[in-house]
C-alpha cells in the first residue's frame, strides 16, 4: 500500500496541521515497519494525466442530457418525508417516484428482463425541475454498480420482497431496503408479520401488455443493481440465486444506464416526468401501526414504517 511521507490533518475551520522534520520521519518509519506499506512519491507523468482527465470529467459532468418537467420526489417508505423538494403528501400513498423511474430505466435498457427491482436507498436525491446533467445522474446513482439479471420463480420474487421489507422493519437493517420496481406492483401491509406483508402481486413484463397476477411457479428474469443481486441490503433470495450462478452480469454501469434512458427520452422529445400511477410498484401501503395511507391522510406513525 503506497503512502505519502506528508502527514496532514484538516481542521473544521479549514486550517491544516502538518507534521514536519523528525516527526514526519518517525511516523513514516513506524508505518513502513509493516511489510505491506511503502512510502512512495507521486509519479509526475501519471499525476499530469489524472489532472487532464479530471478537467475533462469536469466538463462532461456539466453536459445537459435532458430535462425534468417537474420536481420528482425521493422517499423510501411511503410518506416518510425524506424529500428536500416535495411535501410529504406527494409520497404519502405510494412512495417516491424517483426510485420507480430508476427501476424503469434499468428495465428499459435491459431487453432480456421482464421487470426491474431497485432498493429505495440506492437512489440518493430528488430530481429537480429543469436541465438534467450527467453530474446529476452520478449524484443520483453514485455507487460502483452494474446491472445484473437473475432468473427467479414467482414465489422467489415474493420472498425477496418480503426479505427487503423485513430488513427495514424487523432488524437493524436500513430503511433503504424498501423495494421499488418497474413491471411489478404489489400491496404492502407493514403491520403484518414477515411472510405476509406483500400481497396481490401483479406483473406486466416490460410494461408491454396487461397487468396480471404473478404465477408463483413460472420463471421470470429480473434486472437489478449488482449490490442487491449479491444479496446485500437484506435481499437474501437474490444472494442465493446469485451464489448458485443463475445470473448474468450485463456489465452495464448503472449510472450509464440512466444516462442512456434520459438521452432516449430526449431524442423522442420527451422529458423526465412522473410515471402513470398504475406503474408505481407500491399499489397501496399500510404502515406498521396499521394505518392505511390510501384511506387516511393523517396516519400517526411518523416514520410511516
pLDDT in tens, 198-254: 999 999 999 999 999 999 999 999 999 999 999 999 999 999 999 999 999 999 999
Model confidence pTM above 0.75: yes
Residue 295 domain-assigned (yes or no): no
Q: Do residues 114 and 6 both lie within one domain?
A: no
**Pair 114, 162 in one domain:** yes
CB 80 within 8 A of CB 305: yes
Q: Which domain holds residue 46?
A: 2-58
**Domain for residue 305, yes or no?**
no
Q: Which pLDDT tens digits describe the chain residue by residue (305 residues)?
A: 999 888 988 888 888 999 988 999 999 999 999 999 999 988 999 999 999 999 988 888 899 999 999 999 999 999 999 999 999 999 999 999 999 999 999 999 999 999 999 999 999 999 999 999 999 999 999 999 999 999 999 999 999 999 999 998 987 767 899 999 999 999 999 999 999 999 999 999 999 999 999 999 999 999 999 999 999 999 999 999 999 999 999 999 999 999 999 999 999 999 999 999 999 999 999 999 999 999 998 886 544 46
Judge whether 147 lies within some domain.
Answer: yes
Whether 35 and 105 map to the same domain: the answer is: no
Residue 195 has what pLDDT? 95
Residue 300: the pLDDT is 64
Check whether residue 176 and residue 212 sit in a common domain: yes
- pLDDT score for 125: 97
On whether both 103 and 154 belong to a single domain, the answer is: yes
Q: Is the residue at 301 inside a domain?
A: no
Task: Please report, for the domain that includes residue 233, its CATH number.
Answer: 3.90.780.10
Question: CB 175: neighbour CB atoms within 10 A?
Answer: 17
| Per-residue confidence (pLDDT) for residue 60, from 0 to 100 | 84
Query: Does one domain contain both 198 and 281?
Result: yes
Q: Per the domain annotation, does 201 fall within a domain?
A: yes
Which pLDDT score is estimated for 302? 46
Number of domain units in the chain: 2
| Shared domain check, 218 and 70 | yes
Same domain, 44 and 160: no
**Quick check: is 205 in a domain?**
yes
Same domain, 179 and 34: no
Taking the C-alpha atoms of residue 301 and residue 91, their distance in angstroms, rounded to an integer, is 15
Q: Is 216 among the domain residues? A: yes
Q: What mean pLDDT, rounded, does the chain reach? A: 94
The answer to whether position 298 is within a domain reads no
Tell whether 108 and 246 lie within a shared domain.
Answer: yes
b/e per residue 116-153 (b: at least 16 CB within 10 A): bbbbbbbbebbbebeebbbbbbbebbeeebbbbbbbbb
- Do residues 29 and 100 both lie within one domain? no
Domain match, 178 and 262 both: yes
pLDDT at 77: 94
| Cell 416514520 sits on residue | 303
pLDDT at res. 66: 97
Amino acid at each position: 500500500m503506497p503512502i505519502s511521507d506528508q502527514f496532514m490533518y484538516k481542521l473544521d475551520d479549514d486550517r491544516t496541521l502538518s507534521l514536519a522534520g523528525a516527526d514526519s520521519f518517525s511516523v513514516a518509519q513506524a508505518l513502513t515497519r509493516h511489510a505491506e506499506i511503502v512510502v512512495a512519491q507521486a509519479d509526475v507523468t501519471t499525476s499530469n494525466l489524472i489532472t487532464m482527465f479530471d478537467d475533462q470529467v469536469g466538463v462532461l459532468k456539466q453536459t445537459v442530457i435532458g430535462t425534468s418537467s417537474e420536481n420528482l420526489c425521493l422517499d423510501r417508505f411511503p410518506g416518510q418525508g425524506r424529500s428536500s423538494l416535495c411535501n410529504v403528501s406527494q409520497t404519502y400513498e405510494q412512495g417516491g417516484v424517483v426510485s420507480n423511474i430508476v427501476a424503469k430505466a434499468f428495465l428499459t435498457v435491459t431487453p432480456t428482463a421482464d421487470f426491474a427491482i431497485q432498493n429505495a436507498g440506492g437512489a440518493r436525491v430528488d430530481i429537480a425541475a429543469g436541465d438534467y446533467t450527467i453530474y446529476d445522474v452520478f449524484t443520483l446513482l453514485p455507487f460502483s454498480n452494474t446491472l445484473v439479471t437473475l432468473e427467479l420463480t414467482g414465489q422467489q420474487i415474493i420472498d425477496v420482497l418480503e426479505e427487503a421489507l423485513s430488513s427495514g422493519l424487523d432488524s437493524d437493517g436500513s430503511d433503504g431496503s424498501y423495494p421499488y420496481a418497474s413491471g411489478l406492483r404489489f400491496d404492502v401491509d407493514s403491520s403484518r408479520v414477515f411472510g405476509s406483508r406483500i400481497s396481490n402481486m401483479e406483473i406486466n413484463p416490460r410494461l408491454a401488455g396487461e397487468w396480471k397476477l404473478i404465477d408463483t411457479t413460472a420463471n421470470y428474469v429480473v434486472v437489478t443493481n449488482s449490490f442487491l443481486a449479491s444479496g446485500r441490503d437484506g435481499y437474501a433470495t437474490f444472494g442465493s440465486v446469485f451464489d448458485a450462478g443463475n445470473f448474468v452480469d450485463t456489465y452495464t454501469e448503472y449510472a450509464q444506464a440512466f444516462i442512456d434512458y434520459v438521452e432516449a427520452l430526449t431524442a423522442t422529445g420527451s422529458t423526465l416526468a412522473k410515471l402513470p400511477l398504475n406503474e408505481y410498484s407500491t399499489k397501496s401501503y399500510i404502515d406498521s401501526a396499521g394505518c392505511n395511507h390510501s384511506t387516511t391522510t393523517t396516519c400517526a406513525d411518523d416514520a410511516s414504517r
